[in-house]
Amino acid sequence: MDGTSQVAPGVLSSFLTSLTICVPLAFLSGKIGSVLKVIPVVLIPLVASIAFGLVATTAMVLFLIPVLYMIFEDWGWARRHEEDELGHSV
């Protein structure tokens, strides 16, 4: 679980960056906004698949993989890394 706390800020910041970039496209006005409103039939499946992919991979990285690792560790299928006095893996 230590790895999750180390990776979580990077994963969440990339997820939020993607949302910050993509969400304003839905609210554009002017010529670009009118073009985007004409072609949503093509873009809706694309946007839906990208959004689902972002949410699914974020959930997998932050929740599913750490839980599976804990289960495998309990079963003896994964070994815990030992550290020396300086905190380096041995």
* 41 falls within a domain: yes
Over residues 42-62, the pLDDT tens digits come to 667 777 788 888 889 888 988
Number of domains forming the structure of the chain: 1
* 12 falls within a domain: no
pLDDT of residue 11: 85
pLDDT of residue 1: 60
Q: Please check the confidence at residue 90 and state whether its pLDDT lies above 70.
A: no
Q: Please check the confidence at residue 84 and state whether its pLDDT lies above 70.
A: no
> What residues have CB less than 8 Å from 14, skipping those under 6 apart?
none
> What residues have CB less than 8 Å from 48, skipping those under 6 apart?
none
Nearest Cα residue to 15 out of 66, 69, 51, 68: 51
Range of the domain at 71: 35-78
